[in-house]
Amino acid sequence: MLYITTKYLKPGMILAKDLYLYSSNNFCSLMLVKGQVLNNTYINRIKYHKIEGVYIESEAFSDINIEPYISDNLKTKALKEIRDTYYEFKLSSGKVSPYMIKKLSSIVNNIVTELLHKDSLAYNVIDFKNYDTYTFQHCLNSAILSISTGISLGLSEQRLNELGLAGMLHDIGKMLIPKEILNKPGKLTNEEYEIIKEHPVNATKQLKYLVSTEVLRAIEDHHEKIDGTGYPHGKSNNNINFYAKILSISDVYDALTSDRPYRKSVFPNEVVEYLMGCGDKHFDYEILQHFMKIIVAYPVGTFVKLSNNQLAVVIRNYPENVSRPLVRIINDDGTVGEDIDLLHDTEYMDITVVDMGYNYENSGLTNVLKSSIDFNQQYAYGQ
């Protein structure tokens, strides 16, 4: 299978995975099934729901199989509990019942259990972007990324549960901020930014007797930076809560790889470069090294450009070095060439990935995408 951005979807392409839509109303609904031949109606529906792209079947890449990072059922339950908890907080002007925290903690425990039983952790950002409410999806993603980093760090199950709960709750204070400030498309005024900076403290005041001290400190410190330039207190290095050091990296990674009212999402490889550039300035460098082991700079099934100007598709990632995956070459005539292991094959040590993109249009690869020829002929200018 190949990942094709919605912009480049064509009638006749065949869906390689079930396509789910996650919304704040229905949470999880099956939109299209695996094996569905796309037509203009389906493509327009995908565009309407602002889904960035889908996996398409391809004979030449039939060995690529993308497994969900956590089960769809658990993802749906987690989003529902986050939504219910955050709405209760908003509607009651900052109050949350112990019952809601207990339910959220149970979900975190289930996520920790699932992740601990995975053979390997390789977070694919593409798997977590089909949702229409940024805040809820962002909190789930931040929790999952933080738990995964904690596993890499060797934290106990109890600490992973605390870390995950902090991730789920870290932005709950934003529910008391006016939407026109949160979703402002332009630059914030100084006054508006000061209001934004209050959300960690507002959250900890209201959650004081509902969660542990460590969770409270993680929420309060998640915007602090190692060099002391963060907020709300300008803490530095050892004064910052350990969980918050993990959560801050997860928070920034997910925020930058998501569309926001004031900017478009950034490619994962560019975010990786940014995070590494901020090591020991904004982020704890040792923790950042463990974070890099659980994310992928170049998601499997996506197109990349190599430093020798060849196009390729990512086949496999390595936690030892997220910037040097196993790739499959696309020849100039659109045929598929050999696999190149950029990490382990010494012959290619001077070759690097220099760019990435989620489209196939310039690769000449159209002829190896599995499609319905009759369908293309019949409906090319139809529905």
On whether both 262 and 319 belong to a single domain, the answer is: no
236 close to 227: Cβ distance less than 8 angstroms: yes
Three-class SS state of 295: strand
On whether both 339 and 226 belong to a single domain, the answer is: no
140 close to 82: Cβ distance less than 8 angstroms: yes
On whether both 273 and 321 belong to a single domain, the answer is: no
Whether residue 379 lies inside any domain: the answer is no
Residue 379 has pLDDT above 60, yes or no: no
Answer with the one of 266, 294, 322 that is the final residue of a domain. 294
Answer with the one of 294, 317, 344 that is the final residue of a domain. 294
On whether both 45 and 155 belong to a single domain, the answer is: no
Domain CATH code at residue 237: 1.10.3210.10
On whether both 267 and 128 belong to a single domain, the answer is: yes
Residue 378 has pLDDT above 50, yes or no: no
Q: Decide which of 33 and 25 is more confident.
A: 33
337 close to 308: Cβ distance less than 8 angstroms: no
On whether both 86 and 178 belong to a single domain, the answer is: yes
What pLDDT was estimated at residue 259? 77
- pTM comes to 0.89
Whether residue 373 lies inside any domain: the answer is no
Answer with the one of 294, 320, 335 that is the final residue of a domain. 294
286, two tokens: 């040792």
Residue at 90: amino acid letter: K
What pLDDT was estimated at residue 359? 56
Residue 377 has pLDDT above 50, yes or no: no
The listed range with the strongest mean pLDDT (133-137, 181-185, 215-219) is 215-219
On whether both 139 and 265 belong to a single domain, the answer is: yes
Is the four-CA dihedral 168, 171, 173, 178 of positive or negative sign? Answer: negative
pLDDT in tens, 317-355: 998 898 899 999 988 877 889 999 999 999 999 999 988
pLDDT-derived band of residue 185, with 50, 70 and 90 as boundaries? confident
Whether residue 144 lies inside any domain: the answer is yes
On whether both 135 and 89 belong to a single domain, the answer is: yes
Which residue range is the domain that position 289 belongs to?
72-294
Whether residue 244 lies inside any domain: the answer is yes
- The residues with which 20 forms a beta bridge, in sequence order, are 30
On whether both 126 and 274 belong to a single domain, the answer is: yes
Ordered alpha helix ranges (H), 51-133: 72-91, 98-116
202 close to 173: Cβ distance less than 8 angstroms: yes
SS (H, E, C) 242-269: HHHHHHHHHHHHHHHCCCECCECCCCHH
Whether residue 83 lies inside any domain: the answer is yes
Smallest Cα–Cα separation from 298: which of 264, 323, 275, 265? Answer: 323
Residue 196 has pLDDT above 50, yes or no: yes
On whether both 32 and 170 belong to a single domain, the answer is: no
- The dihedral formed by the CA atoms of 80, 81, 86 and 87, expressed in degrees to the nearest 10: 60
Whether residue 318 lies inside any domain: the answer is yes
Residue 373 has pLDDT above 50, yes or no: no
Phi, psi of 354 (to 5 degrees): -110, -15
Q: Decide which of 360 and 287 is more confident.
A: 287
On whether both 259 and 277 belong to a single domain, the answer is: yes
Phi, psi of 229 (to 5 degrees): -95, 5
On whether both 289 and 322 belong to a single domain, the answer is: no
What pLDDT was estimated at residue 375? 37
| Structural domain count, the chain | 2
Three-class SS state of 315: strand
What pLDDT was estimated at residue 76? 87
Whether residue 377 lies inside any domain: the answer is no
Omega prior to 232 cis, within 30 of 0: yes
Three-class SS state of 336: strand
Domain CATH code at residue 19: 3.90.105.10
**Of 22-36, 55-69, 200-214, 313-327, where does mean pLDDT reach its minimum?**
22-36
What pLDDT was estimated at residue 103? 96
Whether residue 380 lies inside any domain: the answer is no
Residue 142 has pLDDT above 60, yes or no: yes
pLDDT-derived band of residue 177, with 50, 70 and 90 as boundaries? very high
Question: What is the mean predicted confidence (pLDDT) over 284-295?
Answer: 95
